[in-house]
Amino acid sequence: MQRQHREVLDARLLKPKAFRRNRQVQLFNVIRKGKFKGQNWMMEVAGSLHSVSAKVAAAVEVAEAAATTLVDSFSSPSCCS
């Protein structure tokens, strides 16, 4: 079993570099032509990142508002009399 595994690894290492480089070029061409994640995948990724950042900003605003109301309620004199 181990010998077979070693032979497979040797075969992989003996592949010419040009073959590996061609594989990378093929992947790049697929991505560049827009066959990956729809036609305009870079815009999709940018849009999703933008929406995530907007949601995070909204959550931060809500948390800040909650914190200020909490601090105000504890700092009022009627709280702990």
d(CA 37, CA 23): 19
Q: Where are the chain's structural domains?
A: 2-59
Kindly report the pTM of this predicted structure. 0.36
Q: Higher-confidence residue: 72 or 76?
A: 72
pLDDT tens string 6-49? 565 555 556 556 555 666 666 666 656 555 555 565 666 677 77
Residues 6+ apart with CB under 8 A from 34: 40, 41
